[in-house]
């Protein structure tokens, strides 16, 4: 393996809170000594008598290796006995591959990975580098181009070369090599959105809004009844502009740059006419006392108090878990409290669409002796059989199915069996290992209020189209990183002043157009459209 890449300064970008429930306390586990190529495991044959007994492997034959094989896998987990977990033992039983987990706490994983990458002693599987960083070390032969092994990886080939060929276009290098293993079908359909106090709305005879005008009228009626309130409250500070942007058709994963589907061009959201319309609407709410004057500074604690006590606020935007969380906090003092998921606000009537494929995790395989075994293991965990194991466990042993939902007999006394509980008990839902989650898992077992949120948006099909995922050159990535800091800071400052300052209007808006261009907004859009052109040419 070439060593010169190890001297590169690697800047690590970690997976940011994909799943709020993954958090947890606990110490870290120092990595076990790295195993050699085909190290010895116990002599007894751990392979199943019937290789098909574990369900749909997507075309793989179990066991995956013809002799005992040990690989190393570096993961962020606060579970200190991961190598003794049910999941680890079951992987070896089914595949013949013993995984020596190098588990570090989520708090220290990034720093540990930096040290290990710099040392050159890579584990067989790890994650945490950006796509561009993986491309660099992949071209130095440090990690493997997964697509070159597609013939032995039927699940990878089906998902990312046949059903979603854009993945290689969007995340591969100029030679068409992909160094990161994507995650498929992780996201729920709905995770965030507008919410309203249905109990208060019902009490006052206010119907849930179906458009922006009705949203405004509802806030006015709330203000009339509770003049000391500010009906809309927010804890998301300047991110409110991003969160609301989908309803005005200018939202996207690359915000404040977004893809205009009708014109097939990338544009800068913060200088668009739609953005001005959104700011004017916010300004109207603010001036009329319908929006909390502290909407740009509220902490989670102060926002929570306003939403749950004293009739101070009744409408917000947040994560759907809050629907039940708030009720559980106040049910003893206010059993009628009923926070519900609401329709989107804005002329499009849409909210965000969450991607079905995400290759930003940076899950990769080192170019070492056991690379084929490591790749096959990732492919097995991508299969329906492996997905069930990693996100649910072993049916009949850890869980049974009742009314189409998994039930865990050993956890019957746990009030809420979520994915953090499953990680701690069985080693399931380890970050970087769930590659194609089983949708029967508890992560998709919604409460009645959460299910209502899914059903409402799905029935209305109120989703903004996903933007293309572009593949930038190293020079473009560096340029965008430099431009983005200044332009986002300038945009947030202008947005705040425009809403809060009564004297701000068309004159200041026109001046902002020039300021944004001077800060690099036009250059950013130019880079995006150049990458879009390459994307379209590669997709032909």
Tell me the HSE value of 20 on the side-chain side, using a 13 A CA sphere. Answer: 8
* For range 64-74, the mean pLDDT: 97
- Return the sign of the alpha-carbon dihedral for residues 166, 169, 170, 176: positive
Q: How far apart, in whole angstroms, are the C-alpha atoms of residue 360 and residue 253? A: 12
Predicted pLDDT of residue 45: 42
Residue 452 lies in a domain: no
Predicted pLDDT of residue 14: 34
Q: How far apart, in whole angstroms, are the C-alpha atoms of residue 142 and residue 136? A: 9
Query: What's the alpha-carbon Rg for the chain, to the nearest Å?
Result: 25
Q: How far apart, in whole angstroms, are the C-alpha atoms of residue 209 and residue 232? A: 14
How far is C-alpha 311 from the geometric centre of its chain's CA atoms? 33
Question: What is the tens place of the pLDDT at every residue in 322-358?
Answer: 999 999 999 999 999 999 999 999 999 999 999 999 9
Mark whether 363 and 485 lie in a shared domain. no
Tell me the HSE value of 369 on the side-chain side, using a 13 A CA sphere. Answer: 11
Q: Are 353 and 463 in contact (CB under 8 A)?
A: yes
pLDDT higher than threshold 70 for residue 49:
no
Q: Which helix (H) or strand (E) segment is 527 a member of?
A: helix 521-539
- Return the sign of the alpha-carbon dihedral for residues 301, 302, 308, 309: positive
pLDDT higher than threshold 90 for residue 13:
no
Predicted pLDDT of residue 50: 65
The widest CA-to-CA distance across the chain, in whole angstroms, is 80
Q: Which of 372, 395, 423 is the last residue of a domain?
A: 372
Q: Are 113 and 74 in contact (CB under 8 A)?
A: yes
Q: Are 428 and 87 in contact (CB under 8 A)?
A: yes
- Per-residue pLDDT band for 513 (boundaries 50, 70, 90) equals very high
Question: What is the tens place of the pLDDT at every residue in 222-249?
Answer: 999 999 999 999 999 999 999 999 999 9
Residue 368: which of 74, 142, 177, 100 has the closest Cα? 142
Mark whether 361 and 499 lie in a shared domain. no
Degrees, nearest 5: CA angle 180-189-422: 70
pLDDT higher than threshold 60 for residue 143:
yes
Residue 352: which of 190, 186, 187 has the closest Cα? 190
Question: What is the tens place of the pLDDT at every residue in 182-219?
Answer: 999 999 999 999 999 999 999 999 999 999 999 999 99
Residue 188: which of 401, 7, 351, 422 has the closest Cα? 351
Mark whether 362 and 503 lie in a shared domain. no
pLDDT higher than threshold 50 for residue 46:
no
Residue 227 lies in a domain: no
* For range 75-92, the mean pLDDT: 96
Residue 62 lies in a domain: yes
Mark whether 177 and 48 lie in a shared domain. yes
Predicted pLDDT of residue 530: 98
Residue 253 lies in a domain: no
Considering the entire predicted model, what is its pTM? 0.86
Mark whether 367 and 479 lie in a shared domain. no
* For range 491-519, the mean pLDDT: 97
> How many CB atoms sit inside 10 A of residue 513's CB?
14
Predicted pLDDT of residue 130: 87
* Whether the bond into 63 is cis, omega within 30 of 0: yes
- Per-residue pLDDT band for 7 (boundaries 50, 70, 90) equals very low
Q: How far apart, in whole angstroms, are the C-alpha atoms of residue 123 and residue 322? A: 38
pLDDT higher than threshold 80 for residue 28:
no
192-197 β-sheet, strand order: 315-319, 192-197, 339-341
pLDDT over 70, % of the chain: 90
Q: Which of 372, 396, 415 is the last residue of a domain?
A: 372
Question: What is the tens place of the pLDDT at every residue in 350-370?
Answer: 999 999 999 999 999 999 999
- Per-residue pLDDT band for 15 (boundaries 50, 70, 90) equals very low
- Per-residue pLDDT band for 436 (boundaries 50, 70, 90) equals very high
Residue 385: which of 77, 51, 125, 86 has the closest Cα? 51
Tell me the HSE value of 102 on the side-chain side, using a 13 A CA sphere. Answer: 22
Mark whether 511 and 365 lie in a shared domain. no
State the DSSP code for 4: G
Residue 41 lies in a domain: yes
- Per-residue pLDDT band for 73 (boundaries 50, 70, 90) equals very high
Question: What is the tens place of the pLDDT at every residue in 56-68?
Answer: 999 999 999 999 9
State the DSSP code for 162: I
Strands (DSSP E) found in 372-529 = 400-402, 405-407
Q: How far apart, in whole angstroms, are the C-alpha atoms of residue 260 and residue 235? A: 29
Residue 419 lies in a domain: no
Structural domain boundaries, residue 523 = 474-539
Residue 194 lies in a domain: no
For position 102, which CATH number holds? Answer: 3.40.190.10
Question: What is the tens place of the pLDDT at every residue in 103-127?
Answer: 999 999 999 998 998 898 999 999 9
Q: Are 100 and 72 in contact (CB under 8 A)?
A: yes
The owner of tokens 């710099």 is: 118
* Whether the bond into 263 is cis, omega within 30 of 0: no
Torsion of CA 264, 267, 269, 272, to 10 degrees: -90
Three-class SS state of 260: strand
What is the residue-averaged pLDDT of the chain? 91
Token reading at 340? 């519900």
Name residues whose C-beta falls within 8 Å of residue 451's C-beta, 6 or more positions apart in sequence. none
Predicted pLDDT of residue 51: 58
Q: Are 487 and 524 in contact (CB under 8 A)?
A: yes
Q: How far apart, in whole angstroms, are the C-alpha atoms of residue 86 and residue 416? A: 20
Mark whether 8 and 145 lie in a shared domain. yes
Question: What is the tens place of the pLDDT at every residue in 255-290?
Answer: 999 999 999 999 999 999 999 999 999 999 999 999
Domain count, the chain: 2
Q: Which of 372, 403, 426 is the last residue of a domain?
A: 372
pLDDT higher than threshold 80 for residue 2:
no
Three-class SS state of 464: coil
Residue 466 lies in a domain: no
């Amino acid at each position: 393996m070439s060593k010169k890449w190890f001297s590169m300064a690697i800047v690590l970008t970690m997976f940011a809170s994909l799943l709020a429930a993954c958090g947890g306390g606990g110490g870290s586990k120092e990595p076990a000594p790295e195993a050699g190529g085909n190290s010895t495991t116990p002599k007894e044959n751990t392979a199943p008598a019937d290789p098909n007994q574990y369900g749909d492997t997507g075309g793989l034959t179990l066991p995956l290796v013809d002799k005992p094989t040990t690989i190393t896998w570096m993961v962020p987990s606060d579970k200190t006995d991961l190598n003794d977990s049910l999941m680890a033992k079951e992987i070896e039983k089914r595949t013949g591959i013993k995984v020596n987990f190098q588990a570090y706490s989520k708090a220290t994983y990034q720093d540990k990975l930096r040290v290990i990458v710099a040392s050159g002693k890579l584990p067989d599987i790890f994650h945490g580098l950006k796509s561009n960083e993986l491309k660099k070390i992949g071209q130095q032969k440090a990690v493997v181009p997964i697509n070159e092994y597609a013939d032995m990886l039927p699940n990878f080939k089906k998902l990312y070369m046949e059903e979603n060929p854009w993945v290689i276009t969007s995340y591969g290098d100029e030679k068409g090599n992909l160094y990161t293993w994507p995650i498929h079908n992780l996201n729920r359909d709905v995770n965030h959105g507008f919410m309203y106090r249905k109990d208060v709305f019902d009490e006052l005879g206010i119907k849930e809004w179906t458009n922006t005008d009705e949203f405004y009228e509802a806030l006015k009626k709330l203000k009339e009844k509770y003049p000391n309130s500010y009906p809309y409250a927010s804890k998301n500070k300047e991110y409110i502009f991003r969160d609301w942007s989908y309803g005005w058709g200018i939202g996207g994963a690359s915000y404040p740059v977004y893809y205009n589907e009708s014109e097939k061009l990338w544009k800068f959201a913060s200088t668009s006419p739609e953005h001005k319309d959104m700011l004017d609407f916010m300004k109207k709410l603010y001036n009329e006392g319908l929006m909390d004057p502290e909407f740009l500074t509220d902490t989670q604690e102060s926002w929570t108090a306003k939403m749950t006590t004293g009739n101070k606020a009744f409408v917000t935007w947040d994560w759907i878990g809050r629907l039940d969380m708030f009720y559980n906090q106040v049910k003893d003092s206010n059993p009628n409290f009923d926070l519900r998921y609401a329709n989107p606000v804005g002329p499009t009537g849409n909210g965000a669409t969450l991607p079905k494929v995400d290759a930003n995790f940076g899950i990769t395989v080192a170019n070492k002796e056991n690379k084929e075994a490591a790749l096959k293991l990732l492919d097995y965990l991508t299969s329906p059989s492996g997905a069930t194991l990693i996100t649910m466990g072993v049916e009949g042993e850890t869980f049974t199915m009742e009314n189409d939902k998994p039930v865990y007999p050993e956890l019957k006394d746990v009030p809420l069996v979520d994915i953090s509980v499953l990680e701690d008990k069985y080693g399931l839902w380890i970050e970087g290992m769930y590659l194609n989650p089983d949708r029967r898992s508890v992560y998709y077992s919604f409460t009645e209020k959460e299910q209502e949120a899914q059903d409402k948006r799905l029935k209305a099909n109120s989703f903004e189209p996903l933007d293309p995922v572009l593949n930038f050159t190293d020079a473009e990535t560096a340029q965008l990183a430099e431009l983005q800091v200044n332009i986002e800071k300038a945009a947030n400052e202008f947005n705040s002043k425009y809403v809060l300052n009564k004297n701000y209007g068309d004159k200041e808006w026109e001046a902002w157009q020039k300021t944004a261009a001077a800060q690099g907004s036009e250059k950013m859009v130019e880079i995006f459209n150049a990458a879009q052109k390459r994307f379209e040419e590669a997709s032909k």
